[in-house]
Amino acid sequence: MKREMKVFLLFLLTFGVLCMAGAAFAEDPVYGGILRWREINDPPKLDPAQATDTVSSRAIYLMFDSLVENDSDGKGVLPALAESWEGSEGGTVWTFKLRKGVRFHKECLGESTANGGREVTAQDWKYTFERMVRDNSPRAYFIEMIEGYQDFVSRDETGATEWSGIKVLDDYTLQFKLTYSFAPFVSVLAYNSFMVIPREDAEKWGKEFNFHPVGTGPFMLERWDHDQKVVLKKNPDYWRKDDKGNALPYLDGVELVVIPDNTIAYEEFKKGNLDAFQDFPDEFYVEAKATYGPLFQERPWVGTYYYGFNNSKEPFKGNRALRQAVNYAVDRERISDLVIEGRYPAGKGVLPPGMPGFNPDLKGYSYDPDKAKALLKEAGYPNGFECELQVNNNPRHKAVAEAIQAQLMELGIKLNIKVVDWGVHLDMCERAETQMFRMGWVVDYLDPDNFLYVLLHSSNHGSKGNYSFYSNPEVDALLAEARVETNWDKRIELYRKAEQLIVEDAPWVFLFHYSTSLLGQKWVKNMHLPAMGDYSTPLYNVWVTKK
């Protein structure tokens, strides 16, 4: 009896403590503290105009702002440095009203910046876009539909001194004139290259701006120890306020800690030396999910994982049956389930779920070794063939490749895996120097154009995105038509038609769609994984309860 009483009291006590803890959880945000975020490599670029990878973009999202930004569920764009915008003249003129009182960073690397923390105006935006063209930004072509782009690109011949389609109406009004109505124009502007930059600092540093980045974001660069960490500190003049009108960010700073090895990174996280661990590795997935429960966030990511065939070279060039045979020979569901913990759903086509226009009824390929055999025979390789698959050096990609290698072997297809570094891999794919290659594409702007046009239109062969050197005039025509179509339903119909044709042509082995993941410590509050991917997780409204 006494013992039962004790148990009851203990229960009450525990309950009480839990309630108090619950109350503590619900308490108001606290200021201060540093958040340590794990990175797998040193960010190659901190100049938004030059960055094309997710590691660079992580840092850029923390230091810079764009006109508009993606909402956290990937449903559309929200105002950022632009308060409002409207399209006119059939979607060929876009006028943006800028937010007032937004200031550039006062400090960079512990020194005063050249701009001195002045306010952002429309001139800065014009300068930013023109600078992208002047510095040959690899992403300037995303907005090639703004009038005068070609003239300004070849300004040496045309003598153009400005990008004529970008107009400053007054200090807080910016206007873009397009050569044709490009439906996703506003969402393209949320991409992380289109971030405003102060002219004074850009001109002071020139190409060195990459190492002295100055923006308007919640954090400013304090130190960059290459291959170790990027130290960012709070921007005291940040424009955003929380619901109660309090200044943001709550954190005193963010450290992007570079730890290339997954095992070491996870050990550091377990010891509490890291606060956030993004793109969580498969080998610790089961354990981490069980240990951390809701602190482990994971959601579908608008992206597609595929193996491209080199459609410009033998044996895949002009042999559709052969490409289809490989598609039928791969058991996507079971590879996902058995090799990568079921984290990437099997994919049928180009567009990932979550992308407008995603077609759940698309006719794709499922595992069918008999059909694969028949197609191999039709393709002229009844006993299989040998070919080389190039994969970039990453544990997950290697694991998937070894599984696919074994499955193709069942049909006599001998796949030789070649593992190379990311930079080399990208170069070789861009120059069509591989036979077959692994590639992935995650969303830049929420429009089917970002996948279908960029990756499969014949005008984008090579570095622009069509690494498989696929070309089909019928598909080209449909994609070009969809680009300028303003009726949304009609556009989607065009994209679906094009995607079905592409899937039948099988320029790729359609494999998976991505998921994105983020593990945070229990003392990190209000950190939410957005649909656009772990690297764009906002940290301006995150706080930590442990200092």
Minimum CB distance to other proteins, residue 283 (Å): 4
255 touches other proteins by CB under 8 A: no
20 touches other proteins by CB under 8 A: no
Q: Is 543 helix (H, G, I), strand (E, B) or coil?
A: strand
Q: Name the token pair of 347.
A: 């994919």
Q: Name the token pair of 120.
A: 């952002």
Query: By C-beta, is 353 or 395 nearer to other proteins?
Result: 395
263 touches other proteins by CB under 8 A: yes
Q: Is 427 helix (H, G, I), strand (E, B) or coil?
A: helix
Minimum CB distance to other proteins, residue 497 (Å): 36
Tell me how many degrees the CA angle 399-403-408 measures, rounded to the nearest 5. Answer: 145
Query: By C-beta, is 284 or 441 nearer to other proteins?
Result: 284
Minimum CB distance to other proteins, residue 332 (Å): 13
In terms of DSSP bridges, do strands 34-39 and 253-258 run parallel, antiparallel, or are they unpaired? parallel
Q: Is 328 helix (H, G, I), strand (E, B) or coil?
A: helix
Residue 375 makes CB contacts below 8 A (sequence gap 6+) with 321, 322, 324, 325, 328
331 touches other proteins by CB under 8 A: yes
Query: By C-beta, is 53 or 388 nearer to other proteins?
Result: 388
* Residue 369 preceded by cis peptide, ω within 30: no
Minimum CB distance to other proteins, residue 62 (Å): 29
Minimum CB distance to other proteins, residue 316 (Å): 20
* Residue 249 preceded by cis peptide, ω within 30: yes
Q: Name the token pair of 195.
A: 């971030």
Q: Name the token pair of 23.
A: 């109350």
330 touches other proteins by CB under 8 A: no
360-399 mask for other proteins (x: CB under 8 A)?
Answer: ---------------------------------x-x--xx
Taking CB under 8 A as the criterion, the residue among 118, 177, 334, 371 binding other proteins is 334
338 touches other proteins by CB under 8 A: yes
CA 167 to chain CA centroid, nearest Å: 29
Query: By C-beta, is 394 or 486 nearer to other proteins?
Result: 394
497 touches other proteins by CB under 8 A: no
Residue type, 56: S
> Per CB under 8 A, which of residues 270..299 are in contact with other proteins?
281, 283-284, 287
**Residue 445 in contact with residue 187, Cβ under 8 Å?**
yes
Minimum CB distance to other proteins, residue 410 (Å): 8
Residue 124 makes CB contacts below 8 A (sequence gap 6+) with 196, 197, 198, 199
262 touches other proteins by CB under 8 A: yes
Query: By C-beta, is 17 or 424 nearer to other proteins?
Result: 424
Q: Is 130 helix (H, G, I), strand (E, B) or coil?
A: helix
**Part of the chain binding other proteins (CB under 8 A), chosen from 417-425, 502-510, 511-519, 528-536:** 417-425
Minimum CB distance to other proteins, residue 419 (Å): 5
Q: How far apart are CA 528 and CA 532, in angstroms?
A: 11
Which of these, 118, 119, 135, 116, lies nearest to 47 by C-alpha position? 135
Taking CB under 8 A as the criterion, the residue among 168, 321, 419, 501 binding other proteins is 419
Query: By C-beta, is 12 or 406 nearer to other proteins?
Result: 406
Query: By C-beta, is 300 or 369 nearer to other proteins?
Result: 369
What is 458-475 written as a DSSP string?
Answer: GGGBGGGSBTT----HHH
Q: How far apart are CA 47 and CA 140, in angstroms?
A: 13
Query: By C-beta, is 146 or 335 nearer to other proteins?
Result: 335
CA 32 to chain CA centroid, nearest Å: 29
Which of these, 546, 497, 496, lies nearest to 522 by C-alpha position? 546
**Helix (DSSP H) and strand (DSSP E) numbers for the chain:** 17, 20
Taking CB under 8 A as the criterion, the residue among 267, 298, 378, 493 binding other proteins is 267
339 touches other proteins by CB under 8 A: yes
430 touches other proteins by CB under 8 A: no
> Per CB under 8 A, which of residues 144..203 are in contact with other proteins?
none
Which of these, 56, 200, 216, 64, lies nearest to 127 by C-alpha position? 200
528 touches other proteins by CB under 8 A: no
Q: How far apart are CA 255 and CA 219, in angstroms?
A: 10
311 touches other proteins by CB under 8 A: no
Which of these, 417, 418, 404, 409, lies nearest to 385 by C-alpha position? 409
**Part of the chain binding other proteins (CB under 8 A), chosen from 24-32, 132-140, 406-414, 491-499:** 406-414
416 touches other proteins by CB under 8 A: yes
**Count of chain residues binding other proteins (CB under 8 A):** 27
Which of these, 249, 187, 242, lies nearest to 218 by C-alpha position? 249
**Part of the chain binding other proteins (CB under 8 A), chosen from 84-92, 141-149, 179-187, 332-340:** 332-340
Query: By C-beta, is 341 or 474 nearer to other proteins?
Result: 341
Taking CB under 8 A as the criterion, the residue among 13, 78, 409, 477 binding other proteins is 409
405 touches other proteins by CB under 8 A: yes
Query: By C-beta, is 30 or 409 nearer to other proteins?
Result: 409
9 touches other proteins by CB under 8 A: no
Of the CA atoms within 13 Å of residue 32, those in its CB half-sphere come to 4
| Backbone φ, ψ for residue 439 (5° rounding) | -155, 160
First-to-last C-alpha distance (Å) of the chain? 45
417 touches other proteins by CB under 8 A: yes
Query: By C-beta, is 109 or 417 nearer to other proteins?
Result: 417
User: Which stretches of the chain bind other proteins, using CB under 8 A?
Assistant: 262-263, 266-267, 281, 283-284, 287, 331, 334, 338-339, 393, 395, 398-399, 401-403, 405-407, 409, 416-419
